[in-house]
Chains A and B, each alone.
Chain A
Amino acid sequence: KQEVTQIPAALSVPEGENLVLNCSFTDSAIYNLQWFRQDPGKGLTSLLLIQSSQREQTSGRLNASLDKSSGRSTLYIAASQPGDSATYLCAVRPIVSSGSARQLTFGSGTQLTVLP
């Protein structure tokens, strides 16, 4: 059974710092991996999706990498801002799953606080 782990559970950094969030998964047979952002009491917003054949994806100040063989992904945030404060979750989709909907398995998230 796939397990997704995110360490640390919480992170606090001063504004302007570059930072890395980590995600690890136990089964490398994945179809893709996604990073989401969740603000307190809100739904999830998709940030980046990396297909299993890709090594990284970039969107603005965000860069996500994928090393399928080692079961790891990182989310790099450049020049962090207070508005980046949120919980960041990663989720993996298996190549094979029961049914046709290909369920995501989520990590428990890293709560990021960027201090002004």
Chain B
Amino acid sequence: SQTIHQWPATLVQPVGSPLSLECTVEGTSNPNLYWYRQAAGRGLQLLFYSVGIGQISSEVPQNLSASRPQDRQFILSSKKLLLSDSGFYLCAWATSGGTDTQYFGPGTRLTVL
């Protein structure tokens, strides 16, 4: 069966510090991968998606970047965090050309102080 991992689970970082969140998927090959951010009381905002290694599409201009160094690894990064980067970050995967259901990881709670 497929599983998706995210770490860390929680993170408190000062403004201006770098960020690296990691997501890995097990039990599937060549998945579509997604990074979402969820602000308090709001829906999910798609930040990045990837259909293959090294292929990253950005949905909104922002202070963040994403990379996919391996087939089942997706990394969200920032060189300098802003207060507005605080939120709940969710990684998700879906089969490419499959049923289109997205499966979500447990999330990372990021607080920027």
Contacts and interface: CB of A to CB of B under 8 A. Distances in A.
Interface of A: 4, 9, 31-32, 34, 36, 41-46, 49, 89, 91, 93, 98-104, 106-109
Given A43-B107, A93-B100, 8 more contacts: A43-B106, A44-B44, A44-B90, A45-B104, A49-B101, A89-B44, A101-B34, A103-B59
A42 B49 contact: no
29 contacts: A4-B43, A9-B41, A34-B102, A41-B88, A42-B106, A42-B107, A43-B6, A43-B90, A43-B104, A43-B105, A44-B44, A44-B92, A44-B102, A44-B104, A45-B104, A46-B103, A49-B100, A89-B44, A99-B49, A99-B51, A99-B57, A100-B51, A100-B96, A101-B34, A101-B49, A101-B51, A103-B46, A103-B59, A104-B44
Given A34-B101, A46-B102, A49-B101, A103 B49 contact: yes
Interface of B: 6, 32, 34, 41-44, 46, 49-51, 57, 59, 88, 90, 92, 94, 96, 99-107, 109
B100 A106 contact: no
The 9 closest A-B pairs by CB, nearest first: A43-B104, A106-B43, A108-B43, A44-B104, A106-B44, A101-B49, A43-B106, A43-B107, A101-B32
Q: Is the interface of B mostly helix, strand, loop or mixed?
A: strand
A33 to B, nearest CB: 11
A19 to B, nearest CB: 21
A104 B41 CA distance: 18
A53 to B, nearest CB: 14
Nearest to A109: B43
A41 B107 contact: yes
Contacts of A44: 44, 90, 92, 102, 104
A98 B50 CA distance: 13
Contacts of A99: 49, 51, 57
A49 B43 contact: no
